[in-house]
Amino acid sequence: MNYNWNWHIFLEPNPMGTGTYLDLLLTGLVVTVKVSVLAWIIALVSGSVIGVLRTLPSRTASWIGFCWVEFFRNMPLLVQLFLWFFVLPELLPRSAGLWLKQLPNAPFWTAAIGVGLFMSARVAVQLQAGITSLPRGQKQASTALGLTTVQTYRYVLLPMAFRIILPPLTSEFLNTIKNSAVAITIGLIELTGEARSMQEFSFQVFEAFTAATVLYLLLNFVVVTAMRFLERYVAIPGYITGK
Amino acid sequence: MIEINHVNKWYGPTFQVLKDCTTSVAKGEVVVVCGPSGSGKSTLIKCVNALEPIQGGDIVLDGVKVNDPKTDLPKLRSRVGMVFQHFELFPHLRIIDNLRLAQEKVLGRKSEDATAKGMKLLERVGLKEHAKKFPAELSGGQQQRVAIARALAMDPIAMLFDEPTSALDPEMISEVLDVMVDLAREGMTMMVVTHEMGFANKVADRVIFMDRGEIVEDAKKADFFGTPRSDRAQKFLSKILQH
């Protein structure tokens, strides 16, 4: 293989005039962090609501939960992003579609919402599993004390359910970060996107993607470490994962 | 205080768990419900505060019809204490917070008042020094005493006990029964599902014997232990009093 390795490329100025190639990648990293965090918030909030709906005795509630989860988990993420980005504006009334297309930063918002909704289905299923894994008597005891259903979830069921599903939730957070890379297909220049443009400008493809890989690893390491601290912080003395 | 009139309950379309059950518990009365497993005694007691719905008949609690859709169930339940077989303390809350939760969220008591009330009741069940611990750090007997204190913190007009000693090691049963005996002697209205015939003999006013969803025998304590009229009750008694 005829390849000129050049690890100094990162310190050379990029053709965009925004500093070095490293700066280019770091700009991409910031976009990745922003879009992932926003997507994760959307996934956590909507996933939690849907997860709770799936555990309620009401038929309507569990039907809504069922539809939501099956819609968002049974379609490839790529297809979902295309749907929101290319198809949705065409389906809306002309003026609304136009407004949507002209939104500043449309790829960013589409990616955050698209990835967020995709991940929400997974959060919902996990939270449902967490809630149903609690002894049935917990809900009965809370109800017998006079707490309403909302209070029972807020003060009794959810604090335990979230503690139980914290380890798998960490994986889902990492998946959200990795899935955000799909957003280059709708024109979001995040970390993977910047690595690709670095490759196109400099032809140093291996260096570019090695750097991107290392940055993803570092980012995920930060998340894993933070989640481990959180797990320790919320651990209950004497109970399962507690010390 | 508690009136149960011709109550019928089905699980699914065919399986009838309660068959035309009629009985009552007067103010200050202690009624023990016994019978073989699967006889419906736990189900019956859970119908009293509407943890389980009924399909036929009426249950009236202190003049309020439990199975009336217009009844404010959380409010009604907050006036009746319930103790479960598996304690059902909330594992993520400290002992004192277990006692405070419903006082504050349901009765709207101030934090200081709820804490003071909680500490007083913990002292009464002999667990004051454990107030800051988590449930998993306590023994089964201690947890059940906390559960009784948690129910008493709501100033209930009656107490329901659903096999309160069935999940306990033998040496812990008496510490729980002692608390219950004291309660009964103070004039608390109690409905107790239990196999502890010693307890029934000591404090019960009446004993109800259930089998296959029916109330087979409903008699004054002396009559029940003297000459139970039904064969089934006689057989049951001879089996559990054998050893």
Interchain pair B92, A151: CB under 8 A: no
* Residue A241 covered by a domain: no
pLDDT, one tens digit per residue, over A167-208 is 999 999 999 999 999 999 999 999 999 999 999 998 999 999
Q: What number of H helices and E strands is found in chain B?
A: 9, 10
pLDDT, one tens digit per residue, over A71-120 is 999 999 999 999 999 999 899 898 888 888 888 899 999 999 999 999 99
- Residues 6+ away with beta carbon under 8 Å from B68: none
- SS3 (DSSP) at B212: coil
* Residue A189 covered by a domain: yes
* Minimal C-alpha gap between B230 and chain A (Å): 33
Q: Which of B147, B184, B139 is nearest to B163 (CA)?
A: B147
User: Containing domain of residue A209, as a range?
Assistant: 19-234
List, as one string, the DSSP characters of chain A.
------GGGGGSBPTTSSSBHHHHHHHHHHHHHHHHHHHHHHHHHHHHHHHHHTTSS-HHHHHHHHHHHHHHHSS-HHHHHHIIIIIHHHHS-HHHHHHHHT-TTHHHHHHHHHHHHHHHHHHHHHHHHHHHTS-HHHHHHHHHTT--HHHIIIIIIHHHHHHHTHHHHHHHHHHHHHHGGGGGGGT---HHHHHHHHHHHH--HHHHHHHHHHHHHHHHHHHHHHHHHHHHHHPPTTSTT--
CATH code of the domain covering residue A111: 1.10.3720.10
* Residue A180 covered by a domain: yes
* Residue A212 covered by a domain: yes
* Residue A186 covered by a domain: yes
Interchain pair B91, A236: CB under 8 A: yes
d(CA A168, CA A165): 6
Chosen for mutation from A138, A145, A147 (greatest number of chain B CBs closer than 10 Å) is A145
* Residue A119 covered by a domain: yes
* Minimal C-alpha gap between B30 and chain A (Å): 20
Q: What is the pTM of this model?
A: 0.90
Q: Which of B74, B85, B134 sits opposite A147 (nearest CB)?
A: B74
* Minimal C-alpha gap between A114 and chain B (Å): 34
SS3 content of chain B, % helix, strand, coil (to 5): 40, 25, 35
The tens place of each residue's pLDDT in chain B, 243 residues long, gives 899 999 999 998 889 999 999 999 999 999 999 988 889 999 999 999 999 999 999 999 999 999 888 999 999 999 999 999 999 999 999 999 999 999 999 999 999 999 999 999 999 999 999 999 999 999 999 999 999 999 999 999 999 999 999 999 988 999 999 999 999 999 999 999 998 888 998 889 999 999 999 999 998 988 888 876 788 888 888 887 765
Token pair in block for residue B175: 């510490």
- Residues 6+ away with beta carbon under 8 Å from A12: A20, A21, A202
* Residue A1 covered by a domain: no
Looking at the structure of chain A, the number of domains it has is 1
**Predicted ipTM of the assembly:** 0.92
For residue B228, the model assigns a pLDDT of: 66
d(CA A185, CA A174): 20
Among all chains, which residue has been given the structure tokens 């239990």? B194
* Residue A243 covered by a domain: no
